[in-house]
Amino acid sequence: MSSSVDIPAETVALRGGGDFPLVGFGTWQLKGDECYDACLVALEAGYRHLDTATMYGNELEVGRALTDSGVPRDEVFVTTKYNPRSGRPELDVLGRSLEALGVDHVDLWLVHAPVDDRRNAAVWESFVKAQAAGTARDIGVSNFSGEQIDHVATATDVTPAVNQIEWRPQLHDPAVVEGHQARGVVLEGYSALKGGVLSHPVVTGIAEELDRTPAQVVVRWHVQHGIVVIPRSSQAERVRANADVGGFELTDEHMSALDGLGRRSGTRR
């Protein structure tokens, strides 16, 4: 494998005007200097998409790395999330997130998880206000079902731009993909490298054939499906390697074999 980092440049256009990079850097469970260092490595390697959340307790470190990297703010897509179970006023929380991140707006603000329909709609109304005010360029949700997306869209006449859910080959479900496409909602996956996927014989077999890592095979699978992926690592070598997927392609046979690991229930349609 090459020592350089060939990160795919593909983006997805969001309805608020943002260009959403297909490959981003996730920061869940990264804290303090570990988070700062990993984000700095990611930005130096060429990542231009950082994903954090108020629940992660690391927005300050993500923002510090963004500033210290020297990468212009308008070149980096920044996502954070609001926890509706916190009981804290949505727009106040966003204000504190912006202060911690050292930015005047986020590129994407997500409802971290659904609650009941009434609360979902109320939270989403605040998100719509944030987008109108320009403090969140695009707004979306996380861990929502199709029905929950429909509910907030109907309540506000604004459909979430993104739904971030757990996703990897073993969770692949064409009905879920089609449900998002039908609604015009971008599917973003998290925990792509968990659930035993890196040791699955189908994945390791393809990785050996292509002289790539299992993680690169999984990230590339997301990219070729047009699904946003945010791999996370605290190890600099893996941070670089995980996104080094621009220099190869999976064949149709590879994609079919990986898709075949997934479910067919359509329960999250």
Active centre residues (catalytic): 56
Helix axes 32-45, 59-69, angle to 10 degrees: 40
Task: Work out the burial of residue 75: count CB atoms within 10 Å of its CB; fewer than 13 is exposed, 13-18 middle, 19 or more buried.
Answer: exposed
What is the SS3 assignment for 83-120?
A: CHHHCCCHHHHHHHHHHHHCCCCEEEEEECCCCCHHHH
Looking at residue 184, what DSSP letter applies? Answer: T
Is 112 marked as a binding-site residue?
yes
Q: List residues forming the annotated binding site for substrate.
A: 112
Q: List residues forming the annotated binding site.
A: 112
